[in-house]
Amino acid sequence: MIEHNPLYQAMKDAVSQTFENMAFTEVIEHFDQDYQIPEDQLAWTSLVVKDPVPGEIFMAVNKDALKELAGSMFLLDEDEITADKMSDILHELLNTVAGLFMTKLLAENQAFQIGLPVTGEGPLPEFDGDSVSWKLITGDEQPVQLFITGAPLVALND
């Protein structure tokens, strides 16, 4: 069971706030913390945290769920939904989550800088000991997984 420390809570709150506002769905902890999104259904993106500490934030979702989300957000039929639109939604979700996460984690006046989101190719990277994961699920029972890597970013927890 993942401890609900400030780092964990900051990310969970950031994801909840973002999905409730942009995708109109709530997000809670996944009931199966061993669940992995199948590789052939995986869509993920990442962005670099530049300041005040280096690190990287990853977000992974289910491709079909993302397609559904793209359709409802842009009011498009399934055949009108392009890979670019799906990537753009994932990027904007992560961009918003990352900003809220850093805001919630850092002291009120502490500035931070994040990079632009980049679409992930293939499987997610292997995460080592200097990483933390969040396994969440939306109100529509779609998995949302977050990872942060980089010892200095993870150490913001301390």
Partner 1 sequence: MKRIIVADDSATARMFIKRCLQIIGLGDAEIIETEHGKDALAAAKEAPTDLLLTDLNMPVMDGETLVKWVKSSPKLCDTPIVVITSAGNPAKEAQLIELGAHRVINKPVSPPVLMEALEAFLDEE
* Interface residue list for partner 1 (CB under 8 A): 17-18, 21-22, 73-74, 85, 88-89, 91-93, 95-96, 98-100, 102-103, 106, 108-116
Instruction: Give the ranges where the chain is alpha helix by DSSP (H).
Output: 6-22, 63-74, 83-105, 151-154
In whole angstroms, the minimum distance from the beta carbon of 81 to partner 1 comes to: 12
In whole angstroms, the minimum distance from the beta carbon of 59 to partner 1 comes to: 13
Q: Which lies closer to partner 1 via its Cβ, residue 99 or residue 125?
A: 99
Which residues are 34's β-sheet partners?
none
Q: Which lies closer to partner 1 via its Cβ, residue 33 or residue 110?
A: 110
Q: Which lies closer to partner 1 via its Cβ, residue 7 or residue 70?
A: 70
Retrieve residue 100's tokens. Answer: 């809220």
Inter-residue contact 87 to 67 (CB < 8 Å)? no
Torsion of CA 102, 8, 55, 141, to 10 degrees: -100
Q: Which lies closer to partner 1 via its Cβ, residue 54 or residue 123?
A: 54
